[in-house]
């Protein structure tokens, strides 16, 4: 089978994905699409793409099998529903949507059309998450009793120009949108835990830290979310009896990234900026995992020893693979799902379990930490 893929949005994040979809052996054609005609032309030339299209609405009338939405985050929910209802499989960059009704609408569209949906959650493929998922499956940890996951992304981290990227994404709506509640983007932290154990959050109590920075991003009178918190911390009860703490920090003296600790009855895992270790019950049982989990440059463009690169198409060798080795796996999993018709990892039911807990956590933080139930939209249907 040879798929035709419509790539909608040719901005910063799409740069690593356009060449990967184009190179995948099961993809026959990539059609590029962007509202910005100059950007579209430049990317078509850069990546050697012959067919282009000026908007999502137009590409939905074309002969593409699937669309890849790498557009601004507040557009994802409605664009996914529209695309599914037009008969296309959908890959969407995170987050899947901004509200629970939008997520429910995507589920309905998947059920009614029989098309597939996958959210591009990068954390799910990070080396430490891949490794812990396998160790959990083997029983190394025993029962998980506690998990701690965080996503630190200060506005002024030194590795990327966060303000410039979000300004490019939001235009004159920068101050209206940039101050969204940190817990509304908790998918990178929550997916680390849910992506290892498969358990989901059932209850939450959260608190927020009122921002003090003079840039006005978290001024509740300015941003459309009326949000005052730049940092939020949530304590969740989980369906397997564990509890999980999640930190989403946007003002933090830290270079940034996703981190996780798991405490199991038999072993524990710790990943902080200082390194990664697995720990047993004796001091002598501590083993450093940096050799296995550090991304090394190589044939598969940045993977760790924990990654199963043998499953990747050989055409990906030497190609970009950003976000800690996740991009090639994301592309391959979506393409394979379109071809086999099987639910991909991070389908909409799983994506709901990454997103909804954070949405409810922010509600709790706004109410001073009152404990709230986290709705669960269930499992993906079995094939």
Ligand X SMILES: NC(=O)c1ccc[n+]([C@@H]2O[C@H](COP(=O)([O-])OP(=O)(O)OC[C@H]3O[C@@H](n4cnc5c(N)ncnc54)[C@H](O)[C@@H]3O)[C@@H](O)[C@H]2O)c1
Residues that bind ligand X (CB under 6 A): 8-14, 33-36, 39, 55-56, 70-73, 75, 93-94, 120, 122, 165, 168-169, 323
- Beta-carbon contacts of 362 under 8 Å, excluding residues fewer than 6 positions away, are 181, 182, 183, 184, 206, 208, 227, 229, 232
Least distance in Å: CB of 326 to ligand X?
8
Pair 81, 109: CB distance under 8 Å: yes
Rounded to an integer, what distance in angstroms lies between the CA atom of residue 116 and that of residue 22?
20
* Closest to ligand X by CB, 18 or 147: 18
Shortest approach of ligand X to residue 122 CB, angstroms? 4
Q: Shortest gap between Cβ of 246 and ligand X (angstroms)?
A: 16
| Rounded Cα distance, 201 and 27, in Å | 37
**Beta-carbon contacts of residue 125 (< 8 Å; ≥ 6 apart):** 307, 324, 325, 326, 329, 330
Q: Are the CB atoms for 109 and 90 separated by under 8 Å?
A: no
Residues with Cβ within 8 Å of residue 244, at least 6 apart in sequence: 146, 147, 148, 149, 193, 201, 235, 236, 238
- Alpha-carbon span 224 to 178, nearest angstrom: 9
Between 75 and 279, CB nearer to ligand X: 75
Q: With respect to ligand X, which residue has the nearer C-beta, 39 or 173? A: 39
Nearer Cβ to ligand X (79/343): 79
- Smallest separation, CB 265 to ligand X (Å): 32
Among residues 231 and 346, whose Cβ is nearest to ligand X?
346
**Residue nearest ligand X, Cβ-based:** 11
| Sheet containing 257-264: order of strands | 287-288, 275-279, 268-272, 257-264, 144-152, 243-249, 229-238, 201-210, 372-373
- What is the DSSP-derived secondary structure letter of residue 242? -
- CB 79 → ligand X: shortest distance, Å? 6
Start-to-end CA distance of the chain, whole Å, equals 20
Task: Give least dist CB 375 to ligand X, A.
Answer: 23
Q: Which is nearer to ligand X, 102 or 144 (CB)?
A: 102
If the CB atoms of residues 143 and 156 are measured against ligand X, the closer one turns out to be 156
CB of 121 to ligand X, least distance (A): 7
């Amino acid at each position: 089978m040879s798929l035709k893929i419509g790539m909608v949005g040719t901005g910063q994040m799409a740069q690593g994905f356009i060449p990967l979809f184009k190179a995948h052996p099961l993809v026959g054609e990539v059609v590029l699409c962007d509202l910005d005609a100059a950007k579209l032309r430049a990317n078509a030339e850069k990546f050697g793409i012959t067919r282009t299209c000026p908007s999502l609405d137009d590409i939905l009338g074309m002969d593409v099998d699937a669309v890849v939405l790498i557009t601004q985050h507040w557009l994802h929910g409605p664009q996914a529903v529209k695309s599914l209802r037009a008969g296309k499989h959908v890959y969407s960059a995170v987050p899947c949507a901004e509200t629970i009704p939008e997520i429910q609408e995507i589920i309905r569209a998947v059920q009614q059309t029989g098309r597939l949906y996958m959210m591009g959650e990068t954390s799910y493929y990070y080396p430490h998450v891949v490794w812990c998922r396998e160790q959990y499956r083997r029983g190394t940890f025993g029962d998980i009793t506690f998990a701690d996951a965080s996503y630190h992304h200060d506005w002024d981290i030194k590795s990327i120009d966060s303000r410039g990227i979000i300004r490019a994404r939001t235009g004159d709506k920068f101050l209206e949108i940039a101050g969204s509640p940190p817990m509304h983007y908790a998918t990178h932290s929550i997916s680390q835990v849910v992506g290892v154990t498969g358990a989901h959050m059932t209850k939450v109590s959260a608190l927020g830290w009122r921002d003090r920075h003079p840039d006005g991003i978290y001024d509740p009178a300015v941003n459309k979310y009326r949000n005052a918190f730049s940092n939020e911390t949530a304590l969740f009860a989980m369906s397997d009896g564990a509890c999980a703490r999640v930190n989403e920090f946007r003002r933090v003296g830290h270079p940034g990234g996703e981190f996780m600790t798991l405490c199991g009855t038999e072993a524990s895992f710790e990943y902080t900026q200082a390194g990664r270790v697995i720990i047993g019950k004796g001091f002598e049982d501590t083993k450093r995992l940096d050799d296995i989990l550090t991304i090394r440059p190589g044939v598969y463009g940045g993977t760790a020893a924990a990654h199963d690169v043998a499953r990747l198409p050989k055409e990906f060798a030497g190609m970009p693979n950003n976000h800690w080795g996740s991009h090639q796996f994301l592309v391959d999993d979506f393409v394979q799902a379109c071809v086999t018709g099987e639910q991909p990892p991070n389908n909409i039911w799983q994506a709901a379990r990454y997103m909804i807990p954070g949405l409810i956590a922010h509600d709790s933080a706004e109410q001073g930490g009152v404990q709230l139930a986290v709705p669960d939209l269930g499992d993906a249907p079995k094939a």
